[in-house]
Structure 1
Amino acid sequence: MINILFSGTAVVLLSFAAYWVRGRGGHRPTGAWSMAALLTSFALAFASYAPIVERAVESAVPHVARLLSNTFTLAAATSVLAFMLQLNLEPEQARRQIRLRVIALVAAVAGMTVLFSAEQLFHRSPILYALYVLIYISYLAYTAKDFLQQTWTQSKRSRRKSQRIGLRVTSAGCAFALLYAAYKVFALISIGLGLGLIPDHAKCSTPLTPTRCAFSVTAPAVAVLLITIGLTLPALTWPFSQFRRRRWEARSFAALEPLWSDVTAAVPEVVLDPGNAETDPRTHDLDFHLHRRVIEINDGVLALRRYRSLQVQEAAAGVVAIRGEADTAEGNAKVEAAVLCAAVAAKRAGATPDGAEAPPTVGMHSRKGDLQAETSWLLLVAHAYIHPQQDTAVAETPDTSARSRS
């Protein structure tokens, strides 16, 4: 079971590393190589934890699996810092800081290697082992603490939901890493004082037994998985979010077509590119086509303002109020649809505007400049426009045939 757990985790982490190196959407995001180094280091650390790998390497050099796993863990910690620095600092400043971290990593690994070799020569001296652990845990604890602070702070600032969740999951992983560091400090005190509180010879039969394995093996394993999932979650959800956005744009573009067609037929001068008005959006930029359609509808509404009847608006508002939909988005959309229907019909019939002009719809200024908010509002209006309730279609409307295009 232990072999499957650690070997499988190593394969998953290597797959994530390959995903980051490959890039997404034709570009490789900032910190991609640092993230790949992080995941690869974690994968190698997990592989060294697997009993089958541990037995293989220790058949050549006794107890060397510990040095390998600790080295890979420190390399992953350095990669975490490099990733963070590349996101938070200017490129040149980030490179300087990363160089210092790499130098510190090399020094730490060199010191651990020297102490490990001396420990083997002096029959696993407790003092040498304690110094070895001190170097290892100091570097790891500092990195985990710093990264926890940065990720939690950034999670409060991030606007994307996937980033907020991912950063908080990463923070939880850092907390498990600090738990592992606390265990190592406890073990260091036990070894340094000769208390013998943590037996060094006991092997882990499961991730939780004996008890020390929950802290020495399971805690770092959970930390690695949470950090990996947290940092990779936004990247994994990006293709899905892009698919959802494009699907929403395509459906919105199609749903606005009846309203757009009637408005632009009444005031064709609002069409931005008359020679290319019916370009198939499926083969071009959906965001551009939807944005253009929203702009043209809004420009058409402005061009029809002379024909916006206050009498029609008040009558439709009365019907909406009777239904209990007053001051709701759906109710306001039904009123606006009735006003637009009458305005389009009056303009196409060549009627002379008379009476008071209906004011703009509620919330017009708050939606201005927000494509998603404007589109969502126009979708409600378009739905009410092509599915009018019989008692909402005002009797004074000059020509209700504006809803059907000949």
Structure 2
Amino acid sequence: MIDLLFSGVAIVLLLAAGYWVRGRGGHRPTGTWAMAALLTSFALAFASYVSFVQSAVESVVPHVGRLLSNSFTLAAATAVLAFMLQLNLEPDEARRSIRLRVLFLGISVVGMAALFTAGQLNDQSPQLHALYVLVYITYLGVTAKDFGKQTWKQSNHSRRKSQRIGLRVTAAGCLFALLYAAYKVFGLVSIGLELGLLPHGVRCSTPISPFRCVFSVTAPALAVLLITVGLTLPAVVWPVSQFLRRRWESRSFAALAPLWEDISGATPEVVLASAGFPEERHADDSDFLLHRRVIEINDGGLALRPHRSQRVREDAERAVATRGLAGTPEGDAIVEAAILRAAVRAKKTGSEPQTEAAPPAPRTASRAGNLRSETEWLLLVAHAYAQGEVVRTPTDELAPSGTDPQA
């Protein structure tokens, strides 16, 4: 089971590294190669824990699997720092800081290799092993602390929700890494003082058995998974969110068509000229098309303002109140749709402007002036305009005598 866990984590990490390296639209975001190095290093570290991999490498050099996995883990920690440095610092300053970190990594790995070799030549000296662990855990612990602090701080300033969640998941992963580091320090004290609190040669059969495997296996596995998920989440969520956004824009554009057709038919001057908006360039741009439709509907509403009937508004408000919708967005939309339908008919039939135009819908001034909020409001109005019985009743009463109200 433990081999399955390590193999699965390694495969997931390699797939995540491939996703980061793969160019997305010809553009690779800042820190791409550092992220790929992080994920690949973690993958190799976990692969080195798999039994048949350990057996293969240790058949050449006994116990070298630990050195390999620890070295890959430190390389991953360095890549984490490189990623954050590239995001937070100017390019030249980031390159200088990364070179310094890589130098420290090299010194640490060489020192670990020297201590490992010396330990092999001295019958697995506990003191040399303690020094080996000291080098390893110092580098790892300091990196996990700094990275966790930095990601949590950055999460409070991120605008995108997926980034905030991802960075906080990453910070949680750093907590598990610190738990693992604390376990290693405990083991270091045990080895240095020859207390024998952590027996050597005991292998973990499951992630929680024996109990110390919770700290030696489960904690680092969770740390890597949470850091991987947290750092990869924004990159994965972004294309999904863009797909959902474009689908919503396309559906909203189609849903607004009946309302737009009537308003633009009564006020053709509000239709934006194609000269300023080349159709062939924006034919597949759902954001552009929806934005333009919303602008034209709103401009048409302004052009119809002289024909907004106060009587129609009052009749529609009474009908909405009888349905228990007074004061709700749906009720306001029904009233607005009734007023617009009457105004369109009045404009088309050449009726005289109203002496007292009906005011805009409640909370119009307080709505956020962005595309989504405007579209959501107009979708309510368009739905009521196309289907609401309350909309048609007061409107049809405005039909001039001798004409067909349904014409």
Q: Is TM more than 0.5 here?
A: yes
Distance 1:66 1:277 in 2: 63
Residues 66, 402 of structure 1: CA spacing in aligned structure 2 closer, same or farther, 3 A cutoff? farther
Distance 1:26 1:328 in 2: 47
1:71-94, Cα deviation, whole Å (9 max, x unpaired): 000111111111112222222222
Write the mapping of 1:244-323 to structure 2, written as runs, cut at 5 A. Answer: 244-273=244-273, 283-323=283-323
C-alpha contact (below 8 Å) 1:319/1:391 kept by paired residues:
no
Distance 1:211 1:200 in 2: 14
Q: What TM-score does the superposition give when structure 1 sets the normalisation length? A: 0.94
Per the alignment, residue 89 of structure 2 pairs with 89
Per the alignment, residue 356 of structure 2 pairs with 356
Write the mapping of 1:155-304 to structure 2, written as runs, cut at 5 A. Answer: 155-273=155-273, 283-304=283-304
Question: Any idea what SS the aligned residue of 1:361 has?
Answer: coil
Write the mapping of 1:2-41 to structure 2, written as runs, cut at 5 A. Answer: 2-41=2-41
Per the alignment, residue 63 of structure 2 pairs with 63
Per the alignment, residue 130 of structure 2 pairs with 130
Distance 1:397 1:300 in 2: 22
Residues 276, 261 of structure 1: CA spacing in aligned structure 2 closer, same or farther, 3 A cutoff? farther
Q: What stretches of structure 2 of length at least 5 have no aligned partner?
A: none
Question: Any idea what SS the aligned residue of 1:120 has?
Answer: helix
C-alpha contact (below 8 Å) 2:334/2:390 kept by paired residues:
no
Per the alignment, residue 389 of structure 1 pairs with 389
How far 1:290 sits from its partner (Å)?
A: 0.4
Letter matched to residue 367 of structure 2: R
Per the alignment, residue 104 of structure 1 pairs with 104
Task: Give the % identical residues.
Answer: 65
C-alpha contact (below 8 Å) 1:262/1:403 kept by paired residues:
no
C-alpha contact (below 8 Å) 2:282/2:289 kept by paired residues:
no
How far 1:363 sits from its partner (Å)?
A: 2.6
1:210-264, Cα deviation, whole Å (9 max, x unpaired): 2222211221111111111111122222222122111101100000000001111
Per the alignment, residue 73 of structure 1 pairs with 73
Distance 1:402 1:41 in 2: 77
Residues 307, 368 of structure 1: CA spacing in aligned structure 2 closer, same or farther, 3 A cutoff? farther
Letter matched to residue 218 of structure 1: T
Distance 1:280 1:390 in 2: 40
How far 1:277 sits from its partner (Å)?
A: 9.7
Residues 397, 139 of structure 1: CA spacing in aligned structure 2 closer, same or farther, 3 A cutoff? farther
Distance 2:119 2:390 in 1: 90
Letter matched to residue 69 of structure 1: S
Q: What TM-score does the superposition give when structure 2 sets the normalisation length? A: 0.93
Cα RMSD (Å): 2.4
1:323-368, Cα deviation, whole Å (9 max, x unpaired): 2212211111111101111111111111111331111222323335
C-alpha contact (below 8 Å) 2:385/2:391 kept by paired residues:
no
Letter matched to residue 243 of structure 2: F
How far 1:103 sits from its partner (Å)?
A: 1.4
Letter matched to residue 312 of structure 1: V
Distance 2:385 2:281 in 1: 23
Letter matched to residue 335 of structure 2: V
Residues 76, 304 of structure 1: CA spacing in aligned structure 2 closer, same or farther, 3 A cutoff? same
Distance 1:323 1:292 in 2: 34
Q: Which moved more, 1:265-274 or 1:153-162?
A: 153-162
Distance 2:369 2:147 in 1: 37
Q: What stretches of structure 1 of length at least 5 have no aligned partner?
A: none
Letter matched to residue 318 of structure 1: R
Letter matched to residue 71 of structure 2: T
- In the alignment, structure 1 residue 50 sits paired with structure 2 residue 45: no
How far 1:321 sits from its partner (Å)?
A: 2.0
Q: Which moved more, 1:374-383 or 1:197-206?
A: 197-206
C-alpha contact (below 8 Å) 1:320/1:335 kept by paired residues:
yes
